[in-house]
């Protein structure tokens, strides 16, 4: 259009400020009570529906149940890490459920399957008889010497486990191997033993029960020891699981056990749930919502084009193109749904001209619909930050006049390589 980049920058900067001011006036709903399940489901349903259409009602219910269970008295301290996801292959998606506590897909190594008011010791090492750090030679003269030697090692190892039992430890969790002898002594002292191979799972269990992982075989101090209201052993679709539960406010954790026929399906559902849990955190920080389904973008596009006509200078052309760019959201939604984008945009502009800012695209019926009545919302805070960051990127790129490419640094190696390429050594 013959505009200098500086004029485009001025127009875009003006349009960006106007857009953010306009966005603040488009609030159509607020999350008043995060602990109200029905209200929370209505606010975050569209997040799940955008990735798992048809399952949004069921999955959103699971997310809301888990989030409400883990929500502290001060809702601003809600931690998304307290809502865990455990994928178990088999069954249908509707077989998924919420379990209060941390679920580990490992069975107890002993016959103890259920412990209440458990003291938990977490070891970040193997539980087996330790070899000495120094090398040496032991002279055994007869069979009795051999028997006494092995018995002494076993007695020492049993003494360690006996100290755990005397300290009140009823559940032992370790990362790595657990010897048969260790399992024997755990069985002798009626202790539950769980072996976890993943260090991340070990950290989650330690955090859930308030225990500090110990890196060597010694009896934990009271501060290092964890506590669980209940540790039980259960079976989910032929997969043995151990559930750690603690109901204190800072340790409340919930696990959404996902079921599905393929790992790819479970991964897709996991991403949808992760997004919805983070949406809960965003709504707690800022409870304002705007109309989704492209309704907000269409209203901004229309208003910015009107705003451009009010500008006296050449920057009005930049403001106008800035507003037209918002049409890309409803256009892409229409194309992804197999609809004619031009027809949908015309219908949306018609609704906007009537003064409505809530009409968006119904991808199922192929028509425009009131997004607020259909409970299709977007977080105002998320949309505001997305726009701010995109504005900054665009303005930064427009302010770049030219790019200067640096030459390779000189030196003996570079000169030698250049001379090898040119027989005469001429560097041109």
CATH number at residue 312: 1.10.560.10
For residue 270, tell me if it sits in a domain.
no
% residues pLDDT > 70 (the chain): 86
**Rounded Cα gap, residues 292 and 36, in angstroms:** 22
Question: CB under 8 Å to 80, separation ≥6 — which residues?
Answer: 277, 278, 280, 281
pTM for the full predicted model: 0.74
> Which pLDDT does position 131 carry in this prediction?
56
Q: Name the residue with tokens 């960006």.
A: 16
Closest C-alpha to 62, from 257, 341, 288: 257
Q: Report, as an integer, the average pLDDT of 147-169.
A: 75
- Residue 36's SS3 state is coil
pLDDT at 310 over 50: yes
CB 241 within 8 A of CB 103: yes
Per-residue CA distances from 225 to 19, 110, 170, 202, 211 (Å):
54, 20, 11, 14, 5
Let me know whether 228 and 298 are in one domain. Answer: no
CATH number at residue 147: 3.50.7.10
End-to-end CA distance of the chain: 40
> Which pLDDT does position 413 carry in this prediction?
62
Higher pLDDT, 409 or 273: 273
pLDDT at 104 over 70: yes
Let me know whether 245 and 363 are in one domain. Answer: no
Let me know whether 239 and 303 are in one domain. Answer: no
Output helix, strand, coil percentages for the chain, rounded to the nearest 5: 50, 20, 35
Let me know whether 145 and 237 are in one domain. Answer: yes
Let me know whether 106 and 234 are in one domain. Answer: yes
For residue 271, tell me if it sits in a domain.
no
Burial of 422 (0-12, 13-18, 19+ CB in 10 A): exposed
For residue 414, tell me if it sits in a domain.
no
Q: Name the residue with tokens 């204190």.
A: 248
Let me know whether 142 and 243 are in one domain. Answer: yes
Let me know whether 235 and 301 are in one domain. Answer: no
Maximum Cα–Cα distance for the chain, whole Å? 106
**Rounded Cα gap, residues 280 and 70, in angstroms:** 12
pLDDT digit string (tens) for 165-193?
Answer: 888 888 888 887 788 888 888 888 888 88
Phi, psi of 342 (to 5 degrees): -65, -40
Tell which of 199, 231, 251 closes a domain.
251
Query: What is the number of domains present in the chain?
Result: 2
**Rounded Cα gap, residues 282 and 37, in angstroms:** 16
For residue 384, tell me if it sits in a domain.
yes
> Which pLDDT does position 428 carry in this prediction?
46
Let me know whether 245 and 325 are in one domain. Answer: no
Instruction: Give bridge partners of residue 259 from the DSSP assignment.
Output: 88
Q: Beta strand 171-175 with 192-196: parallel, antiparallel or unpaired?
A: parallel
pLDDT at 424 over 60: no
Q: For the residues of 359-381, what is the DSSP string, one character each?
A: EEEETTTTEEEETTTTT-EEEHH
Let me know whether 390 and 302 are in one domain. Answer: yes
Q: Report, as an integer, the average pLDDT of 377-386.
A: 86
Closest C-alpha to 102, from 218, 224, 204, 216: 204
CB 80 within 8 A of CB 254: no
Higher pLDDT, 139 or 61: 61
Q: Lowest-confidence range among 36-45, 119-128, 403-412? A: 403-412
Question: CB under 8 Å to 395, separation ≥6 — which residues?
Answer: 9, 12, 13, 16
> Which pLDDT does position 391 carry in this prediction?
85
Q: Which of 271-280, 347-356, 362-371 has the highest mean pLDDT?
A: 271-280
For residue 77, tell me if it sits in a domain.
no
Question: CB under 8 Å to 154, separation ≥6 — which residues?
Answer: 129, 181
> Which pLDDT does position 357 carry in this prediction?
77
Q: Report, as an integer, the average pLDDT of 225-250.
A: 81
**Rounded Cα gap, residues 232 and 239, in angstroms:** 14
- Residue 149's SS3 state is helix
Segments forming the whole domain that contains residue 163: 102-130+137-251
pLDDT at 149 over 70: no
Let me know whether 123 and 247 are in one domain. Answer: yes
% residues pLDDT > 90 (the chain): 0
**Rounded Cα gap, residues 384 and 388, in angstroms:** 6
For residue 419, tell me if it sits in a domain.
no
For residue 64, tell me if it sits in a domain.
no
**Rounded Cα gap, residues 111 and 131, in angstroms:** 28
Closest C-alpha to 384, from 278, 274, 303, 296: 296
Let me know whether 110 and 228 are in one domain. Answer: yes
pLDDT digit string (tens) for 332-365?
Answer: 888 887 878 888 888 888 888 887 778 888 777 7
> Which pLDDT does position 192 carry in this prediction?
86
> Which pLDDT does position 135 carry in this prediction?
60
**Rounded Cα gap, residues 145 and 152, in angstroms:** 10
pLDDT digit string (tens) for 382-421?
Answer: 888 888 888 888 888 877 766 667 666 655 565 556 555 5
Average model confidence (pLDDT) across the chain: 80
Let me know whether 317 and 238 are in one domain. Answer: no
pLDDT at 297 over 80: yes
Q: For the residues of 377-410, what is the DSSP string, one character each?
A: EEEHHHHHHHHHHHHHHHHHHHT----PPPPPP-
């Amino acid at each position: 259009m013959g505009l200098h980049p500086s004029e485009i920058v001025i127009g875009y900067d003006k349009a960006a400020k106007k857009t953010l001011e306009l966005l603040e006036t488009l609030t159509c709903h607020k999350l008043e009570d995060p602990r109200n399940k029905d209200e929370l489901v209505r606010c975050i349903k569209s997040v799940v529906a955008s990735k798992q259409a048809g399952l949004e009602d069921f999955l959103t219910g699971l997310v809301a149940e888990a989030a409400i269970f883990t929500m502290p008295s001060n809702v601003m301290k809600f931690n998304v890490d307290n809502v865990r996801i455990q994928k178990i292959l088999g069954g249908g998606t509707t077989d998924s459920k919420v379990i209060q506590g941390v679920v580990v897909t490992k069975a107890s190594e002993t016959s103890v399957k259920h412990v209440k008011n458990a003291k938990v010791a977490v070891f970040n090492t193997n539980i087996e008889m330790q070899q000495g750090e120094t090398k040496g030679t032991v002279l055994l003269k007869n069979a009795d010497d051999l028997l006494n030697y092995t018995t002494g090692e076993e007695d020492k190892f049993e003494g360690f486990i006996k100290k755990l039992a005397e300290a009140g430890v009823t559940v032992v969790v370790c990362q790595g191997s657990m010897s048969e002898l260790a399992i024997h002594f755990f069985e002798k002292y009626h202790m539950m033993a769980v072996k976890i191979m993943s260090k991340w799972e070990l950290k989650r269990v330690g955090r859930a029960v308030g225990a500090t992982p110990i890196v060597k075989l010694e009896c934990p101090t009271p501060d290092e020891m964890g506590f669980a209201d209940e540790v039980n052993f259960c079976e989910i679709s032929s997969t043995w699981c151990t559930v750690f539960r603690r109901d204190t406010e800072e340790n409340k954790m919930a696990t959404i056990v996902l079921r599905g026929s393929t790992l790819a399906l479970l991964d897709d559902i996991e991403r949808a749930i992760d997004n919805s849990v983070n949406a809960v955190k965003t709504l707690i920080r800022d409870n304002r919502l705007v109309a989704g389904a492209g309704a907000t973008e269409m209203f901004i596009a229309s208003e910015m084009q009107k705003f451009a006509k009010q500008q006296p200078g050449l920057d009005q052309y930049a403001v106008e193109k800035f507003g037209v760019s918002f049409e890309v959201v409803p256009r892409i939604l229409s194309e992804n749904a197999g609809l004619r984008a031009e027809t949908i945009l015309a219908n949306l502009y018609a609704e906007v001209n009537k003064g409505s800012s809530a009409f968006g695209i119904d991808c199922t019926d192929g028509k425009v619909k009131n997004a607020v009545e259909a409970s299709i919302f977007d977080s105002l805070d998320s949309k505001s930050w997305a726009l701010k960051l995109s504005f900054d990127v665009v303005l930064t790129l427009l302010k770049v006049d030219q790019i200067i490419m640096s030459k390779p640094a000189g030196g003996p190696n570079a000169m030698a390589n250049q001379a090898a390429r040119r027989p005469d050594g001429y560097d041109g």
